[in-house]
Copies of this chain bind each other. A is one copy, B any other.
């Protein structure tokens, strides 16, 4: 059985970093990750460059991208302007996303939840007009740092709304790492059932050290596509609560050991993480890249 990992390191990973990675370096990372077996990769987000300066070169990244066949290059968009930019940049897969939390939506997108749902409808419509594959996302689906708990029924209603609009994929995000494997597993089981033939993606953070337990629970619930970041990139030593995604190589290792296939070359990805550690000057949250290359120890 197959598990697919969508690489988020160059988007969710980089956006919380204290430094800005040059466009050419980003493109090198994209090429190396794809060479390591990555088949889906988020390469940019089309948000306001004043808010996320690390993503200001979204258009430049897309313009210089050397595409490999069979690889999905994705961009994150949070409003209609973002869709327009993504279309103009020539992407054929957009991750359109809104928050399940009203407070988070107002703070992050300056939209109430009702306004965000309406905006989301326009985003999907415009993407569809341009024959772009739409991944419909729900942020903060398992908890919000402003609101606390997010009700499962509320998330399921949003899932239904996304599905009604005809999204090509459904993506739920534990943006804050507040999900727990029991509740998350139960909710994902219902989401997978409602989605039917529409693929379901899960985006996990390891903020409270529950990311990999949530991964296991979601596998049991039938989820087969996960967002990950090489090295667990995204953990910022200056903002302790902003911990990274689950790490690509650690996730691949976990699912391989369970008998799933990913096509990923773990040592190659670990080497990329190791290099990023050197660039940043501090260890990333991923564990595996710190072990690989230590010839004294055996891996399974």
* Alpha-carbon separation in the docked complex, A161 to B259 (Å): 30
**A257 contact from B180, B207, B296, Cβ within 8 A:** B180
How far does the Cβ of A97 sit from chain B's closest Cβ, in whole Å? 21
- Cross-chain contact A297 with B241 (CB below 8 angstroms): yes
A153 proximal to B (CB < 8 A): no
A273 proximal to B (CB < 8 A): no
Contacts of A147 in B (CB 8 A): 298
* Alpha-carbon separation in the docked complex, A146 to B177 (Å): 35
| A182 with B258, Cβ < 8 A, contacts A144-B298, A290-B240 known | yes
How far does the Cβ of A250 sit from chain B's closest Cβ, in whole Å? 4
| A240 with B209, Cβ < 8 A, contacts A182-B258, A216-B181 known | no
- Cross-chain contact B208 with A209 (CB below 8 angstroms): no
- Cross-chain contact A208 with B258 (CB below 8 angstroms): no
**A148 contact from B182, B216, B243, B300, Cβ within 8 A:** B300
A286 proximal to B (CB < 8 A): yes
Contacts of A40 in B (CB 8 A): none
Contacts of A296 in B (CB 8 A): 145, 241
A63 proximal to B (CB < 8 A): no
Q: Which of A220-271 contact B (CB under 8 A)?
A: 232, 240-241, 243, 246-247, 250, 253-254, 257-259
A215 proximal to B (CB < 8 A): yes
Contact with B along A198-221 (1 / 0, CB 8 A): 000000001111101101110000
How far does the Cβ of A182 sit from chain B's closest Cβ, in whole Å? 4
Contacts of A25 in B (CB 8 A): none
* Alpha-carbon separation in the docked complex, A147 to B299 (Å): 9
A44 proximal to B (CB < 8 A): no
How far does the Cβ of A60 sit from chain B's closest Cβ, in whole Å? 34
How far does the Cβ of A300 sit from chain B's closest Cβ, in whole Å? 5
A24 proximal to B (CB < 8 A): no
**A210 contact from B149, B183, B254, Cβ within 8 A:** B254
- Cross-chain contact B208 with A294 (CB below 8 angstroms): no
* Alpha-carbon separation in the docked complex, A149 to B299 (Å): 9
A291 proximal to B (CB < 8 A): yes
**Known pairs A213-B213, A216-B216. 10 more at Cβ < 8 A?**
A145-B296, A180-B258, A182-B258, A182-B259, A209-B212, A209-B250, A209-B254, A209-B286, A212-B212, A243-B287
A interface residues (Cβ-Cβ under 8 A, vs B):
143-149, 177-178, 180-183, 206-210, 212-213, 215-217, 232, 240-241, 243, 246-247, 250, 253-254, 257-259, 286-288, 290-291, 294, 296-300
Show 11 residue pairs from A and B whose CB-CB distance is below 8 angstroms, ordered by the A residue. Answer: A145-B296, A145-B298, A177-B287, A181-B254, A181-B258, A182-B257, A208-B253, A208-B287, A208-B291, A209-B232, A243-B287
